[in-house]
Structure 1
Amino acid sequence: MKAIILLGTLKQEGLSNTEVLSEFLAAHFQKQQVDCSIIKLVDHRILAGTFSDMGQGDEWPEILQQLLSVDIIVLATPIWWNNQSSEIQRVIERLDELHDEVLADKKSRLEGKVAGIVITGDSDGAQHVIANLSNFFNAIGLALPPYATLSVLWEGQKKGAKTSRAELMKKYEEDYAETAEKMVRQMLRFVPDK
């Protein structure tokens, strides 16, 4: 069983709340013997566009091949102005060609795969992001099970906070371990038998 977390942090360097929460969730996948990798999108050259391959050194085709080879896909995003990050929006735009295939009555290449959502922020907005991403998952054939979201809205994650990695992990472990375990169990339940 394999999972990928597409990490939509905007931070190329320094501490990222969303990256730490993604690592926290990845550890819960590994406890269930799920091979989980994290792709930090900002570290890759993903060109703007709505096709699977935009040429010119575009790294999206390699990432797409990884998505097509796993059972579970999780989008992890901070909330910026009540929306998902621009990195996650770029993923949605780049997967548009797969949606075009569905509109042309072809089977989705993502059908049978299970989705999840990770969100960090310091104030409300998670429901809006979950609604956006859920609608997108539905349109491209990904199954989002009940309880397959992990949202941490906490002032310790606000922009400019001096919260350490250890403090973040302590918060996640103390307050969100059960949620993460339930999320992983739910996603595993919905992966079709091969």
Structure 2
Amino acid sequence: MRALILNCTLKKSPEPSNTEKLADVVAQALRERDVEVTARRLVDMNIPPGVETDLGDGDQWPEIHRLLLGARILVVATPTWVGHPSSIAQRMLERMDAMLSETDDAGRPVAFNRVAGVVVTGNEDGAHHVISEIAGGLGDIGYTIPGQAWTYWNRGPGPGPSFGETDEGHEWSVRTGRAMAANLHAVAAALAAVPMGPPPS
């Protein structure tokens, strides 16, 4: 089984990413279940705005699209900015919109029988809102969102340290991240064994 982590931080490599640090907890828990994990930091790639799978010369989204189709599990990791997912996360969802019109050999939307979850960080509050926005979009595209398929770390209202600068709240976020990985893996395995059919015509 394969998993793909799309890190929607605004920080380009090699700058440390707090979002990546928490996503790594989920990645490790998936690897412990023999899941092959691939991660991409989307801000490092040339992904222009649009709602098509391939926008032509220089567009690197087709590589991400190929990885999406090869993964049973998708983890979207995003920081919180002004109470919302990052602009990179929004662009990701817009590019994934093309998957709504793509079907597999059985006539199912290509996201069917795949699961997804969300990792959120930020030194401000709003994590539940961000999780809802991302999970709602992924559900529209066809992903199955298991119960408690998320983890987050938000410091709370007002300025303060980021995830990588304090140990505050890490125990809860790590425990929740490991539970998220277990739930994603369990539901992905169930759907692989008994897949959903195409939607009624």
TM band (smaller chain): 0.7 to 0.9
Label 1:173 to 1:129 Cα distance change in 2 as closer, same or farther (>3 A): closer
Structure 1 residue 130, shift from structure 2 partner: 1.6
Structure 1 residue 188, shift from structure 2 partner: 1.1
Counterpart AA for 2:108: K
Structure 1 residue 193, shift from structure 2 partner: 2.5
> Match for residue 197 of structure 2?
none
Checking the alignment, whether the CA contact within 8 Å between 2:6 and 2:76 is kept in structure 1 is yes
> Match for residue 142 of structure 2?
141
Structure 1 residue 164, shift from structure 2 partner: 8.5
When normalised by structure 2's length, the TM-score is: 0.84
Distance 1:139 1:152 in 2: 25
Q: Identity of aligned pairs, percent?
A: 34
Q: How does 1:1-194 map to 2 (within 5 A)?
A: 1-12=1-12, 13-101=14-102, 107-154=108-155, 161=161, 165=164, 174-191=171-188, 192-194=191-193
Label 1:164 to 1:149 Cα distance change in 2 as closer, same or farther (>3 A): closer
Q: Tell me, what secondary structure is at the counterpart of 1:95?
A: helix
Distance 1:171 1:33 in 2: 30
Q: Tell me, what secondary structure is at the counterpart of 1:38?
A: strand
Q: Deviations over 1:79-119 (max 9, x none)?
A: 011111111111111011122458xxx62111100000000
CA RMSD of aligned residues (A): 2.2
Distance 1:84 1:29 in 2: 24
Q: Tell me, what secondary structure is at the counterpart of 1:112?
A: coil
Structure 1 residue 43, shift from structure 2 partner: 1.0
Structure 1 residue 153, shift from structure 2 partner: 0.7
In structure 1, the gaps of 5 or more residues are none
Q: Tell me, what secondary structure is at the counterpart of 2:81?
A: coil
Distance 1:58 1:97 in 2: 15
When normalised by structure 1's length, the TM-score is: 0.86
Checking the alignment, whether the CA contact within 8 Å between 1:22 and 1:38 is kept in structure 2 is no
Distance 1:14 1:143 in 2: 32
* Greater mean deviation of Cα atoms: 35-44 or 128-137: 128-137
Label 1:193 to 1:101 Cα distance change in 2 as closer, same or farther (>3 A): closer
Distance 1:56 1:7 in 2: 23
Structure 1 residue 71, shift from structure 2 partner: 0.6
Number of positions where the alignment pairs a residue of Structure 1 with one of Structure 2: 186
> Match for residue 199 of structure 2?
none
